[in-house]
Amino acid sequence: MIGVDASHYLDLRLNNPPNGEPLLNAVGGDPYTLKASLRDDLQAFQAVDATLIFVFNGLDYKNKELSNSPKSSSTLKAHKDGWKEYYNKDNGRDVAAERTLKAFAKASTRNKVYIRSSADIYPRLSSGESYQVFSIATRPVFCVIHRRSIQCGCAGTRLARHIHPFITDRVQLAYLERGVSRFKQERVSFIDAIIGSADLFLFNVERVITSFSTRQGLGTFDALSRSACQDRLDKASDDVFRDVQLLLGGPFLPTFPPLDKSGGPKVNARDAVNMLNTTGRSVIQLCNQYRDDQIQAMDYEDKYKRAILSLRHHVVLDKDGKATTMGSEYGAGDAHEIIGLRLPEELYFYISLGMIDPRVPNWLTRGEIDLVLPAGCEDIEAYRVLLGEQLTSLQTQTICLLSNSMNRFYQSRIIRIKTWYSRDSTKSINVKEEPSVREMIAGWRVPETSFNDPAQAASVGTCAS
């Protein structure tokens, strides 16, 4: 049984040859090759009697900043260059096509963080970009796996969509491999291996499969060992190796500014180790040593402390289907400031099955709607009006539809709206002042006879939405 980080899988299939589709950044929509690649992979693993458990992203932890992506500016520039080449009349048709493809291909390239050499790399997905791209691509993947599971009688392939307030796929996969109970380690593993990124090392996973291929009837894979990486970094301790990963940037902490070389040389783990060695291997001392305006504005020391607590007290969906905080016996009373607000157990259940997308619950727990400019879209006034004004009424209805069935705290929640063009906007949605959804639908009468086959309708609705 193999656990699969769905976000990492999508990165492998969307951003690496031969499946890379540069023009997807321009035309949008579902990737043409994704479903075919997924079906081939599922058939290959089924042939060797291997069960795949796909784990998708769920709720965000509180301090995740979707819009602060170090690659956003370079990605936006790649889009502008692509359209510039496309409309350049001085180029011939063949030259324009070639240059356009090359320009948009740069927008697909993910930042790579090097452990030692070109042979030891792992993808580092920026939070803002991965959320935009992979949240769109998740639905077709979810549908293919769902249909495939039905056809196989759930014997060759299983689908698991888990939920917790952080980066769900990585933390949940670590739990499935280690088999950790709420108060002690039981060492009862639910999976035998993990396909994912090296971010799993932050949760003491020893070995991850970073890439694999099932083409031409021959299965190959590349694996990365946590202990081997530590040995190559002068036998770094667990804490130092964790700090190196955090300083290089990822889902829990932005890249330490002196190490942020976006658009320049590749970010190197050796640079982070050397920097830590100059301050007694202490990130706190490192922040005190580099007191420039950028670090102070980011409040990097506080973000680092929050990241450590997030790793120690992460939340998973346990074997009984309950959202459980790991290390809760040592947790503080203000853990919600790090983890995020708790939701009803029933809502966790719906999200874990993929019945409800995590986006709206994220708005409620975070208390804000963070509107970012999607990849490939030009920042024009018409688009600002569409996202910043015209869609607000739909967002309000969606939030009220969910919050009206929750406790009073969420029924009186004030949701702030942040946009990419006005980060200090005071616009907000006051749920308490909106009309009750229950009162609006009180007069509705929908007879049972209007549904021919409820089970079939629910199945179709899951894959069609």
What pLDDT is stored for residue 17 in this prediction? 62
The DSSP H or E segment spanning 209 is: strand 207-213
Taking every pair of Cα atoms in the chain, the longest distance, rounded to a whole number of angstroms, is: 73
CB 134 within 8 A of CB 57: yes
Per-residue pLDDT of 69-104, as tens digits, reads: 444 566 777 778 888 888 887 777 777 788 888 887
* 150-164, 215-229, 269-283: which is most confident: 269-283
* 24-38, 264-278, 385-399: which is most confident: 385-399
Stretch among 224-228, 256-260, 382-386 having the lowest mean pLDDT: 256-260
Percent of the chain with pLDDT over 70: 72
The residues that bridge with 158 in the sheet, in sequence order, are: 53
Could you give the angle at the alpha carbon of 122 between the alpha carbons of 117 and 124, nearest 5°?
125
DSSP string of 111-170, one letter each residue: PEEESSSTTSEEE---HHHHHHHHHHHHHHHHHHHHHHHHHTTTSS-EE-----SS-HHH
The residues that bridge with 418 in the sheet, in sequence order, are: 370
Judged against a pLDDT cut of 50, whether residue 23 lies above it is answered with yes
Average confidence (pLDDT) over 227-245: 91
Task: Dihedral sign for Cα 87, 93, 99, 100, please.
Answer: positive
**How far is the C-alpha of 210 from the C-alpha of 194, rounded, in Å?**
9
CB 392 within 8 A of CB 429: yes
**Confidence at 124, pLDDT banded by 50, 70, 90:** very low
Judged against a pLDDT cut of 70, whether residue 240 lies above it is answered with yes
What pLDDT is stored for residue 195 in this prediction? 92
Average confidence (pLDDT) over 356-375: 85
Average confidence (pLDDT) over 333-346: 78
What pLDDT is stored for residue 415 in this prediction? 94
**Confidence at 265, pLDDT banded by 50, 70, 90:** low
pTM listed for this prediction: 0.78
Mean residue pLDDT across the chain: 75
Judged against a pLDDT cut of 90, whether residue 259 lies above it is answered with no
Per-residue pLDDT of 295-323, as tens digits, reads: 888 889 989 998 888 888 888 887 777 77
Per-residue pLDDT of 174-208, as tens digits, reads: 888 876 544 445 567 788 899 998 889 998 899 99
**How far is the C-alpha of 257 from the C-alpha of 292, rounded, in Å?**
9
**Confidence at 327, pLDDT banded by 50, 70, 90:** low
Contacts with 34 (C-beta within 8 Å, 6 or more apart), sequence order: 10, 13, 14, 19, 137, 140, 141
Average confidence (pLDDT) over 439-449: 77
Stretch among 42-56, 249-263, 354-368 having the lowest mean pLDDT: 249-263
What pLDDT is stored for residue 391 in this prediction? 92
Percent of the chain with pLDDT over 90: 15
